[in-house]
Chain A
């Protein structure tokens, strides 16, 4: 039976070629088309945009773009590791290096580009590389192991990304740029300078205005680079990143129309000069331009698939926005639109903050009403908003510079409602606002992760994520779903934002914070939350006058309130280790004050039924016997539970008890968004149940394993393994960093496990921040913890030593009486609060001794 289907051959299985095939399948091509593709590389399409992560924590498998079974299940023939060597346009055939010959009805060239290597003598020496494929990276990695110095030739986008890679491989890294500044295509002089400073501060040497004339090897080993100004640079390896050139050799050989300087010429339908042949991605030349970003490539794939399938209202390619936002060596850089103000009459507004190391420039039209372009270095948070203002021609506010302030600090913001449905929100994946709204409404999506997964928005460069989030929030609000993350009506900020304001502004009291950033009088939600932030930032005594009214009663009386208004007392028993002498004191105190006594699950003793007026007397006894506050009343570190470990247990491999005590002493009193629990087990049998704790430690033969973000309670969550076989110093360092990072970034009343679930990037990200210090804040986090350790005080000791503070510990301000309403009954030899029924009986028989006021 003759095959009635047409055959489409796609040459090149890179990012764009693969996207085309996905789109063909999505748009129902399989009924009428046989799809065939040639893939020169030894593996199917992968995410080249995130290629550098291969050096961090991604494997080739992680980077793949192909969902499992995509080719098999859809019957797409793919020739992996086979390069097309010839196109025979007369016979409508392609031939490959492995001798495969295929007849096509339509052909798509998606051959991408190759890195340009400048014609310098010695440019092919051993130790020189390019940065484009996984194989390139493997080769670089291998060579880097015997190298100390690495040079990147080219200070553009890719060059800087490559420099970051060399740095992460542990090399002393240099960037050599031919132009007088970095990223000459995207940045103006000031921006280039700011970027240069930032990058040099990170330890990368930048050499601008340098022309390399010679690459010299000695004894078969790379030695140095010679520049035209008689200077030279010693190096062990060189990576060329001096731009890309289209892979147009096949097209040239078969006589398709080419650009003057290369590139396969295409029209609005992405057709080449042969109407049966299309070209898309980085090999295509439209309007005399090559588009070296993935988003325009994806747009071309959309267009080509529409055209091939002859859909009604097929999309056309009319050029693309080359706006970019990137994180280069951890520095945010964005450049968009008419970044050099070439439009006649265009004006520039710029903020150059050399203290913060940021530079932000807006280019506006002559009337100052429309945004034409801009450049952001150091802080590119406003990028998404600015891009939308530009693309949708939305009129600017009167003071456009307000757009450049950090979010929350009075920044003018873009209302999502002012965006038309057709506005392209994610340019990497061409997702419009309308499509996002549709997904939110019809699929009932309420969280960012799901929205990203369903629409692909935000999964490319990530630049549009804040905008996607805003749209989600706006839509949900319209639907009546409460999503704002404001802490309460008094502060229009999330806990994380408030925490930042408080630390940056060195704000030391609630009133000051309220005056500067809030409204009204505060409430039972924001007050304790702010009290906790003040405590974890400055570690002041919580009962100092400005703080006392902020605390939940538990914190303000340093004990846990019970249902009848009395309190329970839990002294700290570090690691659950207690001497018989101290245990006897607990018993004596309980007897003397008639307290109900119970062992908690946290390896300590809880004494219930203490009246306000009794608390100081109880603590006088306890402090005298050497006890400290257990902070069971606070959102703070509770206990570090432990097993006996190697000191007694026949299985133990490390001394878990001693470590638990040390850890508990270190973090005791640490205020946090929610309570913190910990445990240490002496071997893998895990008797202390460390994997259900906010941070848990398990002994190994070689050191300690650190687990984080576990939880028991209502929604149990197993802790995840952060680091293995580390020594104690490293362990403490990681815990310091982890805890302060959590304290700084969590929402109010968010346990570590929930925080972790919401954390974008998950465990990989946490590892980067805590273990690899990717944000460069490790030292600061450790210092904040050290401040806590150095300023720790036992709140109960401080309290009983201050007669003034003790005044508050009476039931009446004007009488010494105890609360007359308390009624107890005896059960199993101890007291407990009477139930209402029991109270009724008792009241009758006792002549309404304890009636409520009325």
Chain B
């Protein structure tokens, strides 16, 4: 499910009901020949220390976070279940009582980076993805 290409922006003119679709450039993500289907996303250097980036992995938006300037990285869905916007990669990283977390940039709920569970409301969580570093490249375990 999801889309790996054929991204579209939809514009509806509410008065006319006319629906316009704009096709945008399509970029194919690379897939390694690994058995658990690792997708190489970017080099570690592309993630500034203590920030996140958003990657397109098999049609899904995956937020990848780097702790300090270390090699410790985590991956969650980029979808923020509270605002319903795709923004998690732009959240601020940190910890609560030692638990690594990211805060949504919109309404500031916090999520456990390792489990994806929301620290402010345990019923809500982010998708989490397996992630590994190979030769300085960040790889995400695909979902299929």
Contacts from A to B (Cβ < 8 Å): 489-490, 511, 520-524, 526-528, 545-546, 548-553, 556-557, 561, 563-565, 807-808, 811-827, 831, 834, 836, 838, 842, 845-846, 848-854
Contact = CB atoms under 8 A, between A and B. Distances in A.
Given A523-B94, A523-B95, A564-B85, A815 B106 contact: no
Closest CB pairs A-B (n = 8) = A549-B50, A523-B94, A853-B60, A565-B85, A524-B103, A553-B105, A815-B27, A813-B53
Instruction: Decide if the interface of chain A is mainly helix, strand, loop or mixed.
Output: loop
B110 interface: yes
B41 A814 contact: yes
B144 interface: no
Interface string B1-31: 1110001111111111001010011110100
B7 to A, nearest CB: 4
B112 interface: no
A814 B95 contact: no
Interface residues of B, number: 65
A807 B9 contact: no
Contacts of A818: 7, 9, 24
Contact of B48 (A490, A549, A834, A848): A549
B51 interface: yes
Contacts of B11: 824-826, 831
B56 A817 contact: yes
15 contacts: A521-B94, A528-B92, A549-B49, A549-B93, A565-B106, A807-B46, A813-B64, A820-B8, A821-B85, A823-B9, A824-B11, A842-B12, A845-B19, A849-B21, A853-B2
Contacts of A817: 7, 24-27, 56
A822 B13 CA distance: 15
A402 B64 CA distance: 46
B116 interface: no
B99 to A, nearest CB: 10
A816 B55 contact: no
Interface string B34-54: 000000011000111111011
Contacts of B101: 523
B62 interface: yes
Contacts of A548: 48, 50-51
Q: Interface centre among A524, A814, A851, by most B CB within 10 Å? A: A814
Contacts of B60: 853
Given A523-B103, A523-B110, 9 more contacts: A523-B92, A528-B92, A550-B50, A814-B42, A817-B7, A818-B7, A849-B10, A850-B10, A852-B79
B56 A556 contact: no
Given A523-B95, A545-B48, A549-B48, A813 B41 contact: yes
Given A563-B83, A851-B2, A852-B79, A816 B25 contact: yes
B32 interface: no
B62 A853 contact: yes
A812 B54 contact: yes
Interface in B58-116: 59-62, 64, 67-68, 77-80, 83-87, 90-98, 100-101, 103, 105-106, 108, 110
Nearest to A510: B50
A842 B21 CA distance: 11
Nearest to A839: B84
B96 A849 contact: no
Contacts of A521: 67-68, 93-95, 100
A520 B55 contact: no
Contact of A820 (B9, B46, B95): B9
Nearest to B41: A814
Q: Interface centre among B21, B42, B93, by most A CB within 10 Å? A: B93
B87 A489 contact: no
Contacts of B9: 818, 820, 822-824
A854 B79 CA distance: 9
A561 B105 contact: yes
Contacts of B42: 813-814
A813 B16 CA distance: 37
A400 B50 CA distance: 41
Nearest to B89: A813
A503 to B, nearest CB: 23
Contacts of B68: 511, 521
